[in-house]
Amino acid sequence: MQQTTVQPVTSVSPTPVTPAQVPATKESILMTTAYVLEHNLRRLIILAIIAALAISLYGVRGIFQGILDMIGQAPQLLVLLLFYSFMMIVQFGALMWFMSRPRTYTVTPDKPQIGLSFENYRGQPDLLDHAKSLVRILRGVKIFQDRGGEMPQGMLLAGPPGTGKTFLAGVMAAEAKLPFIYVDASSLSSMWMGMDALMVISLFRKARGLARKFAEPGQPGCCILFLDELDSIGLSRGGTMGGQQQGMMGPMGMMGGRGLALNTMLNQMDSLGKHVEDRFKYKLARWLGVVRGPVPPKPVVFVIGATNRPDVLDPALVRAGRLDRKLMVYEPDGEGRRDILQHYLRLKSHEPDIAVDLMVADSIGWTPIELKTVINEALIVAHDAGREYLTYKDWLTARDARLLGIKQPILSMSLHDRRTIAYHEAGHAIASHYLNKDDRIQKASIIRMGDAYGVVMPTPKLERHQLHAEEIENDIMVSLGSRAVEELILHTKTANASSDLRNATSRAIAYVGAWGMGSTLLAFPPSAAGAPPQVLSLADKLLEALYEETKRLMREKEYAVHAIAGALLQKGELIGPELDEIFDFADASNPEAAKPFVRKAVTLPKMSELMKKEEQPPAVVVAEVAASGLPPAEPAPSPTPHG
């Protein structure tokens, strides 16, 4: 074990100034004075010549008399100057300031206003670690630079709406205990040409001033400048006719023009301007020669930009040296949602044994703000019902109101229509229950919510980030389940299945034409123009084969169809546990038909065979339905309501 010896602490007294240092100080003062005189010699000579000419023309007495007369008229001149200045300010300055002032909020360490901390940011531990690292660097600028590090100039927070970009910036500002300026970037666009550039310059000057004011001794200081909705001024300048560099002539001069703000911001963030003096008094001192040498390091203005559209930003803005870092803020995963849910549930009155696991599974793909909003809405539902705490059923009610709309039952609906809707939804429920064993049904309902007369909401039990061919085929069969029940049991066809058929068609076209899961590996990108006829032919054959399998499933499980439809007619709405009880009871009552359903493999003809039959090269035909809901190449599964 290594041992360390503790040295006694001794007080250090100020070192006395020795007589040898006094001449050195005097010599430094004399050298500076000599340099100032030499630097301003030409100016002094010109001033002396002007003074000599004035004395020769007017005399010493005349000059002093003129100075006294000017002093006597100073009050009148001052009043006139103030009057004309006030009129100019009122006519132009005040109007331009009022119409062009940016919306900013400043928070300083001596007056903290943001009551947030790292404890408040939940669900994204990786982002939180990155934010803590950045805060440590910003608070120790001098130490980091002494070790050879170069301070990052900015960071871009990008991600879907509601993922917590602004919230993360606020947490960083509160924890860093540094000056913080929040700016609505859209307010940096002015109706006056050139005012947007002046606003950006003023904004960065203010940030540097705050950084110097609150800098610790021996450090240059740092200020955080947060630009929300950065894409409002950071759009790429590569557009038509100069991109953003556009303006028009108005009644009082040039109006419009947004590109100047971006150009000025690029210059303020990284240019030769950071190596030259920007303060007026030091500029004057350097002009006179009192201050010489390189400019000391300027304060760090760390720019944080937040946007939902990083793809439209100008390349010069997001390059290294300006927005050095880029953090993608995604929706939280299962563990992240659990952390967020538990955090907000602690702040609400809720049932002690509330099903958090089911809430996590119900909210796949949700953002933190959606979780917070639905929990609060659930408490409102409980409060309206006269209960003191929220339950899982309140959560489901609030979730449905958020996703689909509030419940608006049609009291005058005929029994025939209710029965048709109940069997329609039962078809979806049967296909989902017996085909997708890794999914569960959150709810089945025949009560109108939003535009849907009925709905079945299946969701994965666990998050999935890949789609397999069998899963897509099962999803198509779930969509076709409603039409199969209509034909086999109700002996009719309804228009209510149109959305289900569109969803099945788009999936089938993607299956054979985009994902290479059919009989060909050709992949055609999604296009509004349409799809090749061979792809449409393969998709039709896939739908035909899967529809026959769906009808076979409905024949084998007809007892369950009647059980689910009957329960829906009786209660109007069934949640997951209730559906499971009905399925278990129906299977127990029909042991012979309750055996697992075994699907037949789908076989599609080769593309070459279809081309030989048609004897023509592939042409593009219009297929509007294919482009209307075509999923991405690698979609993230999310609960898809079936109406």
Phi, psi of 308 (to 5 degrees): -95, -10
> Residue by residue, what is the 3-state secondary structure of 352-386?
CCCCHHHHHHHCCCCCHHHHHHHHHHHHHHHHHCC
**3-state secondary structure at position 276:** coil
Provide the 8-state DSSP code for 348: S
Higher pLDDT, 162 or 11: 162
Model confidence at 197, in pLDDT bands (50, 70, 90)? confident
Which tokens in the block code for residue 74? Answer: 């100073």
Phi, psi of 491 (to 5 degrees): 55, 45
Cα 303 to Cα 20, 152, 189, distances in angstroms? 49, 9, 18
Provide the 8-state DSSP code for 468: -
Q: Write down the pLDDT at residue 3.
A: 45
Q: Write down the pLDDT at residue 139.
A: 81
Question: Do residues 118 and 175 make contact, with C-beta atoms less than 8 angstroms apart?
Answer: yes
- Most confidently predicted of 81-85, 179-183, 463-467: 179-183
Model confidence at 92, in pLDDT bands (50, 70, 90)? low
Q: Write down the pLDDT at residue 239.
A: 53
Question: Do residues 491 and 501 make contact, with C-beta atoms less than 8 angstroms apart?
Answer: no
Model confidence at 90, in pLDDT bands (50, 70, 90)? low
Residues 127-136 have pLDDT tens digits of: 989 988 888 8
Question: Do residues 102 and 188 make contact, with C-beta atoms less than 8 angstroms apart?
Answer: yes
Cα 424 to Cα 169, 390, 410, 449, 456, distances in angstroms? 48, 32, 17, 16, 10
Higher pLDDT, 96 or 450: 450
Question: Do residues 130 and 327 make contact, with C-beta atoms less than 8 angstroms apart?
Answer: yes
Q: Write down the pLDDT at residue 325.
A: 86
Q: Write down the pLDDT at residue 62.
A: 80
Q: Write down the pLDDT at residue 631.
A: 42
Flag the least confident range among 208-212, 543-547, 621-625: 621-625
Q: Nearest-CA neighbor of 512 among 532, 488, 491?
A: 532
Flag the least confident range among 72-76, 313-317, 319-323, 624-628: 624-628
Q: Between helices 576-589 and 415-435, what is the axis angle to 10°? A: 80
Q: Write down the pLDDT at residue 425.
A: 94
Enclosing H/E stretch for 228: strand 222-228
Share of the chain above pLDDT 70, in %: 85
Question: Do residues 248 and 191 make contact, with C-beta atoms less than 8 angstroms apart?
Answer: no
Q: Residue 45, Cα to own-chain centre: how many angstroms?
A: 63
432-437: list long-range contacts, CB under 8 Å, 24+ apart: 432/456, 432/458, 432/478, 432/481, 432/642, 433/560, 433/579, 433/583, 434/553, 434/557, 434/560, 434/596, 434/597, 435/474, 435/477, 435/478, 435/553, 435/597, 435/599, 436/471, 436/474, 436/475, 436/478
Residues 31-45 have pLDDT tens digits of: 878 877 777 888 888
- Most confidently predicted of 82-91, 128-137, 468-477: 468-477
Taking the C-alpha atoms of residue 641 and residue 203, their distance in angstroms, rounded to an integer, is 48
Q: Write down the pLDDT at residue 627.
A: 37
Model confidence at 614, in pLDDT bands (50, 70, 90)? low
Residues 216-275 have pLDDT tens digits of: 887 788 899 999 999 888 888 875 334 444 444 444 444 444 457 888 888 888 878 777
Q: Write down the pLDDT at residue 492.
A: 92
- pLDDT higher than 90, residue 373: yes
Report the sign of the C-alpha dihedral through residues 460, 463, 467, 470, in that order: negative
Q: Write down the pLDDT at residue 630.
A: 41
Strands 222-228 and 300-307: parallel
Model confidence at 535, in pLDDT bands (50, 70, 90)? confident
Question: Do residues 368 and 332 make contact, with C-beta atoms less than 8 angstroms apart?
Answer: yes
Model confidence at 449, in pLDDT bands (50, 70, 90)? confident
Which tokens in the block code for residue 434? Answer: 């017996």
Q: Write down the pLDDT at residue 465.
A: 82
- pLDDT higher than 80, residue 100: no
- The amino acid sitting at 174 is A
Question: Do residues 254 and 245 make contact, with C-beta atoms less than 8 angstroms apart?
Answer: no
Residues 393-434 have pLDDT tens digits of: 899 889 988 888 888 888 888 999 999 999 999 999 999 999
Flag the least confident range among 107-111, 179-183, 509-513, 608-612: 608-612
Taking the C-alpha atoms of residue 311 and residue 296, their distance in angstroms, rounded to an integer, is 37
- pLDDT higher than 70, residue 377: yes
Flag the least confident range among 162-171, 294-303, 427-436: 294-303
Model confidence at 615, in pLDDT bands (50, 70, 90)? low
Which strands, in side-by-side order, build the sheet including 455-460?
A: 455-460, 439-445, 573-575
Q: Write down the pLDDT at residue 503.
A: 93
The DSSP line for 102-156 is: --EEEEBTTB------GGG--S-HHHHHHHHHHHHHHHTHHHHHHTT-----EEE
- Partners of 191 in beta bridges: none
Q: Write down the pLDDT at residue 253.
A: 43
Average pLDDT for the chain: 82
Domains of the chain: 103-237+255-328 (3.40.50.300), 334-403 (1.10.8.60), 415-628 (1.20.58.760)
Q: Write down the pLDDT at residue 99.
A: 63
Strands 439-445 and 573-575: antiparallel
Q: Write down the pLDDT at residue 94.
A: 63
